[in-house]
Amino acid sequence: MKLSAFNYHLPKSRIAQQPLLKRDNAKLMVLSSQGIAHQHFYSVPDYLQKDDVLVINTTKVRKAKLVGTKSTGAKIELVHIKKIGDLSECRIKGHRIKEGTMLCFGELRGEIVRNVHDVFFVRFNRNIDSYLEDNGNLPLPFYITKKLDNEQEYQTSYASEEGSLAAPTAGLHFTHSLLDSIRKKGVIIVSLCLHIGFGTFLPIRGDQIEEHIMHEEYFEISKKSAQLINQRKGRLFVVGTTVVRALEAAFSGGIVHQGNSKTRIYIYPGYTFKNKINGMITNFHLPKSSLLLLVSAYYGRNKILNAYKEAIRKKYRFYSFGDAMLLLK
């Protein structure tokens, strides 16, 4: 299938640059067999019942971005991916970045020793982890140009396990009081953790969606969480595409397995889901992105793209800080 089949035009004015002051006041588009309904996110409990299971991703975005210069004075932006021995794997935005380039971030200095397909391996002069903790910034998506008033705006209210390079944005709408309301209905809230990698920012290359190779991401599911999912009496609801990927990667032999692993699972139209997911909460995603392909695989390309057209007409806010969808089966 051609990637162009998942394209759509979004006016720039529809890209949310900051979250709403009250997270759960975001709009909520509900898709069901009855068609499309327009609600607000605080209406989510109305669609849940006693004994339903709602699965969230507790990953926390880590400070991984540094803004500095090359030794020539030219500005650069660096995102630290991971350490490999005495080197750091990084993504760097700037002009004429090549092996041997010297990087300056105040007291931190680095030298690019290798470049493999725009992945740079850098040797720093001091401990990079502690420097990032004190001086780093959260790596916001490229389309967010407004500086955050508070870094907590790009963390879910339940973020607890640091390691992600992006927020699981479907979860940004939940407040503690909304979660309490959901629990009071007898809904079981289950957590897992999937750390989102840099690949979530990268576009799909090539014309055929089948040729794309997903980036690798780490996830973990506790014994208790696996049991609650496998032994549920009610329906299964998931918060975000990251939860879908973790549950699908951990499923075999008819159950979701506990443990930790890495996955490159790629879900696009034609994929057969292993878990019976009754409802998915998700944001509105970029054109031609792997996230849009995943929700299209779950709910149908035509239904999703028609819903996006309706969302644009109704002036919904798109992407990470935007409004949400609830897809019901």
Where is pLDDT greater, at 55 or 147? 55
Amino acid (1-letter code) at residue 166: A
For residue 53, give every residue at least 6 positions away whose Cβ sits within 8 Å of its Cβ, in sequence order, or none.
187, 188, 189, 190, 228, 229, 232, 234, 235, 236, 237
The number of angstroms, rounded, from the C-alpha of 174 to the middle of its chain's C-alpha atoms is 15
pLDDT tens digits, residue range 27-53? 999 999 999 999 999 999 999 999 999
Phi first, then psi, for residue 212 (nearest 5°) are: -70, 145
Contact 131, 68 (CB under 8 A): no
Structure pTM?
Answer: 0.96
Is residue 203 pLDDT above 90, yes or no?
Answer: no
What number is the average pLDDT over the span 97-126? 95
Angstrom distance (rounded) from CA 228 to CA 173: 24
> Any idea what the Cα angle at residue 203 is, between residues 197 and 205, rounded to 5°?
120
Least confident of 195-209, 227-241, 248-262, 302-316: 195-209
The domain covering 65-135 belongs, at the CATH homologous superfamily level, to: QueA-like (2.40.10.240)
Domain locations along the chain: 3-61+146-328, 65-135
Ramachandran region of residue 297, left (φ > 0), alpha (ψ -120 to 50) or beta? alpha
- Residue 201: is its pLDDT beyond 90? no
Pairing state of beta strands 75-84 and 279-283?
unpaired
Taking CB atoms within 8 Å and a gap of at least 24, the contacts of 257-260 are 257/221, 257/226, 258/221, 258/222, 258/223, 258/225, 258/226, 259/220, 259/221, 260/218, 260/219, 260/220, 260/221
CB 50 within 8 A of CB 187: yes
| Closest of 267, 296, 281 to residue 239, by C-alpha | 281
Mean pLDDT, to the nearest integer, of 196-215? 90
Work out the pLDDT band at 199, boundaries 50, 70, 90.
Answer: confident
The domain 3-61+146-328 is classified under which CATH number: 3.40.1780.10, 3.30.70.141, 3.50.50.60, 1.10.275.10?
3.40.1780.10
pLDDT score for 117: 86
To the nearest whole percent, how much of the chain has pLDDT over 70?
100
- Dig out the tokens for 114 from the structure: 């290798």
- pLDDT of 82 over the 90 cut: yes
Lowest mean pLDDT across 12-16, 86-90, 211-215: 211-215
Mean pLDDT of the chain, nearest integer: 96
Q: Is 218 exposed, middle or buried (0-12, 13-18, 19+ CB in 10 A)?
A: middle
Q: Looking at residues 310-326, what average pLDDT do you find? A: 98
Name which residue leads in pLDDT, 117 or 131: 131
Please write the tens of the pLDDT for every residue from 52-66: 999 999 999 999 999
Q: What is the pLDDT of residues 216-258, one digit of tens each?
A: 999 999 999 999 999 999 999 999 999 999 999 999 999 999 9
Distance CA 140, CA 284 (A): 17
Question: Is residue 202 over pLDDT 90?
Answer: no
Nearest CA among 323, 319, 325, 324 for reference residue 145: 319
Nearest to 182 by CA among 53, 282, 280: 53
